[in-house]
Amino acid sequence: MATLELRNVNKSYGSGLPDTLKNIEISIDSGEFLILVGPSGCGKSTLMNCIAGLEDISGGAILVDDQDISGMSPKDRDIAMVFQSYALYPTMTVHGNIAFGLKMRKMAPAEIEAEVARVAKLLQIEHLLGRKPGQLSGGQQQRVAMGRALARRPKIYLFDEPLSNLDAKLRVEMRTEIKLMHQRLKTTTVYVTHDQIEAMTLGDKVAVMKDGIIQQFGTPRQIYNDPANLFVASFIGSPPMNFIPLRLQRRDGQLFALLDSGQARCELPLGVMEAGFEDREVILGIRPEQILLATAESRNQSSIRAEVEVVEPTGPDTLVFVELNQTKVCCRMAPDDAPQVGQTLELQFDPSKVLLFDAQSGERLLPGKAQPLEHKVAQFMTG
Amino acid sequence: MTSRSSLSLSRVAIYATLLAACAVYLIPLVVMLLTSFKSPEDIRTGNLLSWPEVFTAIGWLKAWDGVGGYFWNSVKITIPAVLISTVIGALNGYVLAMWRFRGSQLFFGLLLFGCFLPFQVVLLPASFTLGQLGLANTTGGLVLIHVVYGMAFTTLFFRNYYVSIPDALVRAARLDGAGFFTIFGRILLPMSTPIIMVCLIWQFTQIWNDFLFGVVFASGDTQPITVALNNLVNTSTGAKEYNVDMAAAMIAGLPTLVVYVLAGKYFLRGLTAGAVKG
């Protein structure tokens, strides 16, 4: 049980090379589950190694329970880690693997036995204690690796893409188990993944990273509903958010987004009053499940007719692709409502769910968190 | 039918070739063994491949009288030199693979030069160094030379073996609270049996069979068996006792043969280790 705070953490591998981590600011409460998510090479594993002490940071501070640990060696930090490759000691039995860290900490043999038994029971690996890692399946190795981390009862757990070596079915099972385990133990956890579903399902807080910079830090809900920029919006969500390039128009003090399906056009009212947005190239973002089939009653100026180009049934729902503004747009529908290819649909957009991004910088424009345009332009010019 | 007969024909050809190759390798050994058990008269009257009329161990006894003392010299040189160079190589390899430091690649590259240095190049500087250290013409001096010269090879072996081991193991052990030597002793060494065997066999063969360092850096009673064998065979006085020469050569060659037979399977396993999993 410990709080974790990263204060302005920087990491570079020498002058001339680009920084691996830039001004990382994260703070989580005791017992929270933090997800570091991003594409490969974004610095998330480096950040985790820095927290573990396996790599030094070039600047900033890492605080656990308000104590700076960035100068400590890994063994003094009281942090346990589960590695992507599990990194089980191949010549030791499962028992030996779990007990190793305890022996290193000079725990009494009787206590070690009790602790190994407790962890083995918790993870249901009691029958495997006498085996070597090579005799275990991937899922069992995964459990042992977790057991090794659990046994020490550290202040913080670190998970480095622990599920990426498992097959799809086992991955879902272990995901649930990790969540269950965390709900029971309530230990502060940092979890690195490139899988946005793991990020959404497991995290209390999510930090989306790219190029060593935190793009957004917030709850999974915030990240999903209120992405800070195009990158976050495109990275989180499957199937991904639709991005439709268009030009904003103003009429009667209202802003409109002009959509064109080839068959029909519609002016989506955005209801934004600020000046300066008209005639701007923007990217309109809308998630596949936010595009609905229009009913006779709901049909209005924000609905548009379009021809179905591709239909992909996935089981629980069916993905329907249409073309708007020369861009493929994915709509998620209930299988029973799914149309045939070539059929014409009447689609309905919820203007309140629509997100706007700057076409050049990718920054989020509207609604809500967007900054005034002058500021954005100034930032764009200087940046 | 035709494919069957051609198959068997090719089989016959393969086995004939293999047998011929075996004979090429084994006949010298057979000749040595047979000759070593012959009496001098037998050698004079019979030909090279003829069966001994009586098997006699007289050649072996005389040979042991001649080179037995030097055999123990070789043991006293080889065993410490093999063990020390293997231990140093293991530690070097561990550091170069798992604890990279600035310039460690360059360091490793320079160390590799040691593998390509011919023996003759180091003779003069080595003898100067041994003289300065007061180790000239001693068993300790020869051990030192062999350790230094063998270090490049043993480091290469261990470094390449450890490079194929995921460094997450070391990181996990560090988080578990293990230090530099604990990680080496508890995690890596128990995994290293194949490469230890390769190292032991390689170094044993190199050091036991060494002649040049032995003849240059040892004299008189401290000479290794290879030098003693040469002295025995190359004597120009008296009648040539081929049975004694052959028995002495067998005595000189047996230990490496025994080591290879005992640990050979590890040797092959160790040489191919890391080849499958990059």
Residue range A136-155, pLDDT digits in tens: 988 899 999 999 999 988 99
Question: How far is Cα B41 from Cα B38, in angstroms, rounded to an integer?
Answer: 8
Q: pLDDT digits over B26-48, tens only?
A: 999 899 989 999 888 888 887 87
Q: Does the beta-carbon distance from A52 to B168 stay under 8 Å?
A: no
- List CB contacts (< 8 A) between B171 and chain A: 49, 52, 54, 74, 81, 83, 87
Q: Can you give the CATH number for the domain in which B240 is found?
A: 1.10.3720.10
- Segment A328-337 shows an average pLDDT of 91
Q: Does the beta-carbon distance from A75 to B186 stay under 8 Å?
A: no
pLDDT category, B50, cuts 50, 70, 90?
Answer: confident
Q: Does the beta-carbon distance from A87 to B166 stay under 8 Å?
A: yes
For chain B, say whether A96 makes contact (Cβ under 8 Å): no
- Domain housing B185: 59-272
**Same domain for B105 and B160:** yes
- Segment B9-19 shows an average pLDDT of 93
pLDDT at B272: 61
CATH topology of domain A4-235: Rossmann fold (3.40.50)
Domain total for chain B? Answer: 2
Question: How far is Cα B222 from Cα B208, in angstroms, rounded to an integer?
Answer: 14
Give me the helices (H) in A14-167, please. Answer: 44-52, 94-104, 109-123, 138-151
Judge whether A356 and A373 are in contact, CB under 8 Å: no
pLDDT at A264: 87
Q: pLDDT digits over B63-121, tens only?
A: 998 888 999 999 999 999 999 999 999 999 999 999 988 888 899 999 888 888 888 88
pLDDT at A343 over 50: yes
**Same domain for B24 and B140:** no
**Same domain for B179 and B265:** yes
Question: How far is Cα A188 from Cα A34, in angstroms, rounded to an integer?
Answer: 8
- Least Cα separation, residue B152 to chain A (angstroms): 28
**Same domain for B254 and B121:** yes
Residue of B141, B153, B132, B114 whose CA lies nearest to B213: B141
pLDDT at B200 over 80: yes
Q: Does the beta-carbon distance from A83 to B168 stay under 8 Å?
A: yes
Q: Does the beta-carbon distance from B178 to A104 stay under 8 Å?
A: yes
Residue B176 lies in a domain: yes
- List CB contacts (< 8 A) between A75 and chain B: 174-179
**Same domain for B182 and B127:** yes
Percent of chain A predicted with pLDDT > 70: 93
Residue B218 lies in a domain: yes
Kind and range of the H or E element at A347? strand A344-349
Structure tokens at B100: 């990279």
pLDDT at B273 over 60: no
**Lowest mean pLDDT across A296-300, A314-318, B228-232, B245-249:** A296-300
pLDDT at A247: 85
- List CB contacts (< 8 A) between A85 and chain B: 166, 168
Residue B52 lies in a domain: no
Question: How far is Cα A117 from Cα A99, in angstroms, rounded to an integer?
Answer: 10
- Segment A248-261 shows an average pLDDT of 83
Higher-confidence residue: A354 or A35?
A: A35
CATH topology of domain A242-382: OB fold (Dihydrolipoamide Acetyltransferase, E2P) (2.40.50)
pTM for this entry: 0.80
- Least Cα separation, residue A75 to chain B (angstroms): 4
Q: pLDDT digits over B156-195, tens only?
A: 999 999 998 888 899 999 999 999 999 999 999 988 988 8
Domain locations in chain A as residue ranges: 4-235, 242-382
Q: pLDDT digits over A79-91, tens only?
A: 999 998 889 999 9
Question: How far is Cα B13 from Cα A338, in angstroms, rounded to an integer?
Answer: 70
- List CB contacts (< 8 A) between B187 and chain A: 89, 91
Question: How far is Cα B107 from Cα B138, in angstroms, rounded to an integer?
Answer: 31
Residue B53 lies in a domain: no
**Same domain for B268 and B155:** yes
- To test the contact with chain A by mutation, choose from B175, B181, B189 the residue with the greatest count of A C-beta atoms within 10 A, namely B175
Compare all CA atoms of chain B with the CA of A82 and give the residue at the minimum distance.
B172
- Least Cα separation, residue B90 to chain A (angstroms): 18
Q: Give whole-number Cα distances, B141 to B84, B127, B206, B224, in Å.
A: 13, 9, 16, 12
- Least Cα separation, residue B128 to chain A (angstroms): 44
- List CB contacts (< 8 A) between A83 and chain B: 168, 171-172
Compare all CA atoms of chain B with the CA of A156 and give the residue at the minimum distance.
B175
- Least Cα separation, residue A112 to chain B (angstroms): 14
pLDDT at A373 over 50: no
Q: What are phi and psi for residue A247, nearest 5 degrees? A: -115, 135
Interhelix angle A109-123/A94-104, rounded to 10 degrees, is 130
pLDDT at B276: 41
Residue B105 lies in a domain: yes
Residue B278 lies in a domain: no
- To test the contact with chain B by mutation, choose from A89, A105, A159 the residue with the greatest count of B C-beta atoms within 10 A, namely A89
Compare all CA atoms of chain A with the CA of B193 and give the residue at the minimum distance.
A91
Q: pLDDT digits over B210-249, tens only?
A: 999 998 888 888 899 999 999 888 876 777 788 889 999 9
Residue B50 lies in a domain: no
Residue B112 lies in a domain: yes
**Same domain for B239 and B184:** yes
Q: Per residue in B209-226, is it b (16+ CB within 10 Å) or e — as a string? A: bbeebbebbbeeebbbbb
pLDDT at A200 over 50: yes
Judge whether A230 and A221 are in contact, CB under 8 Å: no
Higher-confidence residue: A51 or B273?
A: A51
**Same domain for B123 and B23:** no
- Segment A97-101 shows an average pLDDT of 94
The rounded mean pLDDT for chain A is 87
**Same domain for B254 and B139:** yes
- Segment B17-34 shows an average pLDDT of 92
For chain B, say whether A155 makes contact (Cβ under 8 Å): no
Higher-confidence residue: A19 or B107?
A: B107
